[in-house]
Amino acid sequence: MAIVLGPNRYGKAEVRLVRVTRDGDTHHLADLTVGIALAGDLAATHQRGDNSGVLPTDTMKNTVYAFAKEHGVAEPESFALRLARHFVADQAQVHTARVSVEAYGWDRLGPHSFQRQGSWTRTCTVTHGGDGTQVVTGITGLVLLNTTASEFHGYVTDRYTTLPETTDRILATAVDARWRHLTDAAPWDDSFRGARDALVAGFVDTYSYSLQQTLYAMGTRLLTDRPEIAEVRLTLPNKHHYPVDLAPFGQDNAGEVFLAGDRPYGLIEGTVTRDDAPPASAEWYL
């Protein structure tokens, strides 16, 4: 029996970076968490402990800070592209670099004062190597809720089914969406805002008979509105809201009082894609 080394990579995770750009009395703020993973000719360090081809992960961290100073941050995708291309070009043993970014938004309160935005976070992942460059943008923690215009009935039942059918329910979710761009050059901020708005519109404008239907409608709306995007992967937890039984108190509950459930919850996942989109150059949904 032969034992061989399978796919592998290594890097620096969760590098926290805050970059202040001082434009006179007006300051601009970028707040990121950056992850780096490198793959390539690294068998020697795994099999023999030979570190001659290993760039220390501490060096990767330092590169993030140095690039933030030298080049600025601007859009998360642009920053990730610059880092990924650097590691592949600078290190002959590195064949592929994957750089992921979480970007936290801040609303301006004054020339140098800011307030952290709500629950959602912007994300991006850039993979650069011999197979090309792939850019994936996303959003996580985007909480959406419709108080009506949602039904759920006609589903499979068996001897363990207790869930009653409904023609009027609250539909709520916390959207985790990632979308793959067709190119590695785009107006990233405009594209992100347009994609986020399309997802929200798809949720708001859909009369829902299932969260699966809503997922497909949201993905379809995004691809319709944003021609620069090849496909989108959506993960939608069903944030259940249970009507409270007020009968013991002599009160009716006509869809007014609910218990917001925490767990367990339904989890709906799916990918919506253009049928003519080129294939991905890397596993972008991990």
| CA neighbor of 191 nearest in space, from 217, 219, 220, 229 | 229
In SS3 terms, the chain reads as: CCCCCCCCCEEEEEEEEEEEEEECCEEEEEEEEEEEEEEECCHHHHHHCCCCCCCCHHHHHHHHHHHHHHHCCCCHHHHHHHHHHHHHHHCCCEEEEEEEEEECCEEECCCCCEEECCCCEEEEEEEEECCEEEEEEEEEEEEEEECCCECECCCCCCCCCCCCCECCCCEEEEEEEEEEECCCCCCHHHHHHHHHHHHHHHHHCCCECCHHHHHHHHHHHHHHHCCCEEEEEEEEEECCEEECCCHHHCCCCCCCCEEECCCCCEEEEEEEECCCCCCCCCCCCC
Is 69 an annotated catalytic residue? no
Catalytic residue among 61, 181, 239, 240: 240
Is 61 an annotated catalytic residue? no
Catalytic residue among 12, 128, 181, 239: 12
Catalytic residue among 45, 57, 235, 273: 57
Is 12 an annotated catalytic residue? yes
**Active site residue ranges:** 12, 57, 240
